[in-house]
Structure 1
Amino acid sequence: AKAKLRLLGVSKEEINYVRNVRRVNEFTTIYAPISGWIFQKNINQGSAFNPQKKLFQIINLDKVWLEAKLFQNELEGLKQLHNFNVKLKGLQKDFNATKSLLYPMLDPKVATATLRLDIDNSEGLLKPGMYAKVHASADSTSHLVIPRTAAMRKNGKWYAFISTEFKGEYEPVQIEVTPLDTSYFELISGLNEGDSVVNNALFMMDSDAQINGIY
């Protein structure tokens, strides 16, 4: 009987009182198993309940989840990303997050995967339902990189455009890259440190290259 009362959440003091006086109080106090906020209340004063009924939903917000949506082409470089910085509109403070879980299925409606990030919320600034922007980066190591916007993929191969000796002319160079973070590719081969590559407006140069049969 003592074990059953403990499982029901009856305090040790009240159990000892019942054992000593051989009498049950008309009222008893049931303590919440955790501290937090009441998100659901399914009982009112005077209501009856049974062991199967959920009386309250209590949520502790000291640590919260953030679900980030990733497009399919962003999944390849996710393993290299370990640093996640979270910004929310209306809050001056940025938050650091840790990678927790990548859900195994994509949303078929929008073709996005869901990455769960854990964030410390001991100050209570983050609220359920908020929207945020996440910046992800790899660990601080030395890499030869180019901006993602400076690389173009065509027929399964990657190209970058470098300036020639003639002003306003550009030459496509085949390169080998691997995703580093959301903004940069790590350069494996095709360019050297210090080479000047063209950034942005690659769609115009791609059209010119096709017209002239450069690649």
Structure 2
Amino acid sequence: MKHAPRPHDLLRLTPDAPPFEGAPGWVAAALARAPFVVVRRAPPLGGKLAVGVRGSVRGERFGTWLDVGWIEAKFTPEDLRTCEPEPARRALPAFTLMRGIAGMLDDRALRWGPAGSAGFELASGVPAITPASDLDLILRADTPLPRDDASALFDALSQAAQRYGTRIDVQIETPEAAFSLAEYARPQLRVMLRHAAGPRLVDDPWAAS
């Protein structure tokens, strides 16, 4: 891999990857259906990556660690932004919203892509989005994004989500941490910065990273 995996990247496991120790019973079935894990925001353990496995229902989530030798392929949110779901699923609200806002985000020269259920389905081909699903998005911001610009973007994305009959949840990723666009868009409020070392409230997410 050219770049090390980052939080929200989806990793396809090699066919001979061993089972995860201590995993609940549903994990084997989930990985047989779609051999993918998502990179978690947590420190490595003994050189292994922190990853998560998702099951078929919301309550089925399992956190564990993965030896990088068992990674067959990596899919970043940016890789997935140009992927299309199966034709029969294109009309689901989260997917129609993603297509509808692509031009808006590209015009702002932002690096972005889907995470959550949308990202998982686009990477694996296994249905994960439902008619009630939010669209989870990742925005990369290596340098500070002015708060006024963030507020205008949040308003535009929220209005688009209403038009498409769904909701959107946007996370801004700095090189080392992440925070919610919805929180940052509100003036003069501290934001909850999510860092591998743990969460903390900050005024300037880039300085605090």
Instruction: Return the TM-score normalized by structure 1.
Output: 0.24
Instruction: Return the TM-score normalized by structure 2.
Output: 0.24
Name the structure where strand makes up a greater proportion of residues: 1
Q: Give 1 or 2 for the bigger CA radius of gyration.
A: 1
Name the structure where helix makes up a greater proportion of residues: 2
